[in-house]
């Protein structure tokens, strides 16, 4: 969370990456990322996957260690009420998002959506990274604008090599680019799968 003084009027803004900026009547501008609203329910839901610890980074990204790498994700700002008939746990939803269903102390069941994100948004800001909606991103690669959604898994650096910059390796099917393997300067790798505009075509 970041706090600073401002002369702007009181206002609440939910940003595309589900961070929030709000200005109080006293002129304090507060910036914060969304957080998981029931951490114990999430840890219980992912335990069968061999995940026993979930970490919230300062940039709002949830991380968890796997044998094959690291999971990276973000959460919705809100957890909305759902029917009492909904089972508790973590369930897949549209566009590679997940739904965490948990129960409050009052007995009310709620759902909070979790979606994949890029592991190092600060680095990809150099490529005009913008958040479109619930995990969707827009990014400029080699002068062309693409929309896509990242995989949850960040694969480790297997050979120990590091890069001076991000490397985007295209993945093609039937002559069309359908994804990019993003190799960060750390040597870690994450897939960016393209969506919309025919899924495989760059957006103008």
Please compute the mean of the pLDDT values over residues 151-156 and round it to a whole number.
94
- CB 78, CB 112: distance < 8 Å: yes
pTM reported for the whole predicted model = 0.81
DSSP character string of 129-177? -EEEETTEEEEEETTEEEEEEE-SEEB--SS----SS-EEEEEEETTEE
The average confidence (pLDDT) of the chain is 86
Residue 183 DSSP symbol: E
The pLDDT, as a whole number, for residue 198 is 41
Report which of residues 187 and 20 the model is more confident about: 187
pLDDT in tens, 99-139: 999 999 899 999 999 999 999 998 998 899 988 877 899 99
Please compute the mean of the pLDDT values over residues 29-56 and round it to a whole number.
87
Give the phi and the psi of residue 23 in degrees, each rounded to 5: -115, 125
For the chain, domain boundaries: 2-33, 39-60+75-115, 121-194
Residue labelled with tokens 């609440």: 12
* Cβ atoms within 10 Å, residue 91: 14
Please compute the mean of the pLDDT values over residues 141-156 and round it to a whole number.
94
Asked if residue 96 has pLDDT above 50, the reply is: yes
* Cβ atoms within 10 Å, residue 189: 20
The pLDDT, as a whole number, for residue 197 is 46
- CB 61, CB 119: distance < 8 Å: yes
Question: Cα separations (Å) of 54 from 47, 64, 76, 102?
Answer: 10, 5, 16, 16
Asked if residue 196 has pLDDT above 70, the reply is: no
């Amino acid at each position: 969370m970041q706090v600073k003084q401002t002369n702007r009027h009181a206002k609440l803004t939910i940003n595309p990456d589900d961070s929030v900026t709000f200005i109080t009547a006293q002129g304090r501008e507060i910036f914060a990322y969304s957080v998981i609203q029931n951490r114990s329910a999430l840890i219980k839901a992912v335990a069968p996957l061999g995940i026993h610890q979930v970490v919230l980074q300062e940039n709002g990204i949830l991380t968890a260690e796997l044998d094959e790498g690291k999971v990276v994700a973000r959460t919705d700002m809100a957890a909305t009420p759902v029917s009492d008939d909904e089972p508790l746990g973590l369930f897949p939803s549209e566009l590679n998002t997940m739904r965490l269903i948990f129960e409050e102390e009052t007995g009310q069941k709620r759902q909070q959506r979790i979606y994949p994100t890029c592991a190092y948004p600060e680095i990809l800001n150099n490529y005009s990274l913008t958040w479109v909606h619930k995990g969707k991103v827009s990014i400029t690669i080699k002068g062309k604008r693409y929309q896509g959604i990242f995989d949850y898994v960040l694969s480790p650096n297997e050979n120990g090599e590091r890069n001076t910059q991000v490397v985007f390796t295209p993945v093609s099917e039937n002559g069309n680019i359908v994804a990019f393997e993003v190799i960060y300067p750390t040597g870690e790798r994450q897939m960016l799968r393209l969506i919309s505009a025919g899924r495989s075509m760059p957006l103008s």
